[in-house]
Amino acid sequence: MTKRPKARPKSSSTLARLIVRPAPRDQRRAILQAGPLTLAAALGRSGRTSRKREGDGATPISVMPILSAYRRGDSGLWPATRLPMRRTQPNMLWCDAVSDANYNRPVRSPFTPSHEKLQREDELYDICIVLDWNLRQRKRGCGSAIFFHIARPGYSPTEGCVAISPRDMRRLLPHLGRKTVLQVL
């Protein structure tokens, strides 16, 4: 039996950079520039910071390469993307316990230390793009689980991530790849 190749986007253009600028009147909102598109986005409840710390609720001011993505399989169809994409399972978690050796890494349940579920009850992680914040050169306490994901209705603040609407995520996914970076100004 031969393996069927993974679906790739029909579009040949991959965005090199997503630029996130703070919104003029609310530090917890942003304007995301993706090529010619300008999209609304949510930031952390504490706005942005150049000194990110675990639990501060701020979005790091940084250039963060996009590494991979997770998708929830029972949440409808999503367009193809050039990103490595894994389907979430109920036992998939992300460790945010500073004292644990798995800090800022994916883990599986059962897992006692503090963590986030990747398969959430709400739609926030229906598409969850992993950003290289404190991953390749990890430092304990400098922030974990900084993702690019789906925003809550009304773009209410995140815990430190960047979030956009499901509609806008569908528009961007075909144009994202491993060479794309997300830059928070």
Q: State residue 11's pLDDT score.
A: 47
- Percent of the chain at pLDDT > 90 equals 90
**How much is the average pLDDT of 1-18?**
64
- pLDDT band, very low/low/confident/very high, at 165 (cuts 50, 70, 90): very high
User: To the nearest whole number, what is the mean pLDDT of the chain?
Assistant: 93
Q: Which residues pair with 41 in a beta bridge?
A: 30
Q: State residue 75's pLDDT score.
A: 74
Q: State residue 73's pLDDT score.
A: 84
Render pLDDT for 102-133 as a digit per residue (tens, 0 to 9): 999 999 999 999 999 999 999 999 999 999 99
pLDDT over threshold 90, residue 12: no
**How much is the average pLDDT of 76-91?**
93
Backbone CA torsion sign across 164, 166, 172, 173: positive
Q: What global pTM score does this model have? A: 0.92
How many CB atoms neighbour CB 148 within 10 A? 26
- pLDDT band, very low/low/confident/very high, at 76 (cuts 50, 70, 90): confident
Cα separation, 25 vs 144, whole angstroms: 27
Q: State residue 74's pLDDT score.
A: 83
